[in-house]
Amino acid sequence: MSVFKQGNVAVITGAASGIGRAAATAFAKAGMRLCLFDRNADELEAFAALLPAATRAVVGDVARYEDVERLRDTAYEAFGAVHVLMNNAAIGHGSKSWGARDRWAAILDVNLWGVIHGVQAFTERMLAQGAPAAIVNTGSKQGITNPPGDPAYAVAKAGVRVLTEQLAHDLRNHPGGQISGHLLVPGWTFTGLTAGQGAEKPAGAWTPDQVVEHMIGAVEAGEFYVYCPDNVVSETLDALRLQWSVGDIIEKRPALSRWHPDWKARFELYAAERLS
């Protein structure tokens, strides 16, 4: 049974732009009632005004647990239930392995603690509904294959992956529980986090709408890892990258060997042989 249906209620964080905005638009078209959350008040309120009347907009910061509690209370007071919780809010990149402690704190507070706050604030109430529901947490390929260059973002998204795996396990083993957990893993997506102002979408990137369409289909099919390709990286290449990453551990290769000068060419040959 699909949770993305007319009359059901969706709560989306980071809803004013990017994937969150695309999800809200798609859910509204399906006849769902919406409670949208973002810390950009102007963008959120302008967007909410374009949606059906059964939409609530809550301004706040997912890094503040009390703000997420207020989001939960607003959703339940307005609609009495939540059938889809999408913990999606995130902030941009930029960190190094040492130094810039303030930047690390900001990224972890939103990208990891923001998801934890959503799970903590909503799950008990959603279980008590006794009805089918879904919690979708937005992760990243950077939290799985761990490319170098932005460790704080990768650490946060790796934490989201681990949290969501644990959550899905706990939900499926909860007596009488009817909630499923899902990890959304976008590929190269043209959003405010990845594009400069006024930039045109590169041919290789997916749009947020494509990500959301893929997500809805995957969740309805019962998939946990909603791993999105794009117009450059196929599902097959994604799988090879994942297998190679795990192989670093099994075969005792150097950390992040895909980018290591002694191993980069070996990975490229490994992938080419299997893609041909």
Q: What is the pLDDT of residues 42-90, one digit of tens each?
A: 999 999 999 999 999 999 999 999 999 999 999 999 999 999 999 999 9
pLDDT band at 197 (very low <50, low <70, confident <90, very high): low
CB 9 within 8 A of CB 28: no
Q: Where are the beta strands (DSSP E) in the chain?
A: 9-13, 33-38, 55-59, 84-87, 133-138, 179-185, 225-227
Query: d(Cα 194, Cα 196) in Å, to the nearest integer?
Result: 7
Q: Does residue 107 contact residue 153 with C-beta atoms inside 8 Å? A: yes
Q: Of 147, 148, 153, which Cα lies nearest the Cα of 94?
A: 153
* Structural domains for the chain: 9-232 (3.40.50.720), 234-276 (no CATH)
3-class SS of residue 52 = coil
The single-letter DSSP state of residue 16 is T
DSSP tag of 189: B
Catalytic-residue membership of 76? no
Are the C-beta atoms of 59 and 41 separated by less than 8 Å?
yes
Look up the pTM and report it.
0.95
The single residue of 65, 153, 225, 270 carrying the catalytic annotation is: 153
Note the pLDDT of residue 141: 96
Task: Please say whether the beta carbons of 244 and 209 come within 8 A.
Answer: no
Q: What is the pLDDT of residue 100?
A: 87
Q: Pick from 62, 6, 9: which is nearest to 37 by CA?
A: 62
> In what helix (H) or strand (E) does residue 107 lie, and over which residues does it extend?
helix 101-111
pLDDT at 73: 98
Note whether 219 and 134 are within 8 A (CB): yes
Report how far residue 89's alpha carbon sits from residue 224's, in angstroms, rounded to the nearest whole number: 19
Question: pLDDT tier at 169 (50, 70, 90 boundaries)?
Answer: very high
| Average pLDDT of the residues in 151-164 | 98
pLDDT band at 170 (very low <50, low <70, confident <90, very high): very high
In this predicted structure, the answer to whether residue 93 has a pLDDT above a threshold of 90 is no
What confidence tier does 214 reach under pLDDT thresholds 50, 70, 90? very high
Q: Tell me the two tokens of residue 159.
A: 């934490």
> Could you give phi then psi for residue 201, rounded to 5 degrees?
-65, 125
List pLDDT tens digits, range 116-153: 999 999 999 999 999 999 999 999 999 999 999 999 99
The mean-pLDDT minimum among 27-36, 81-90, 98-107, 111-120 falls in 98-107
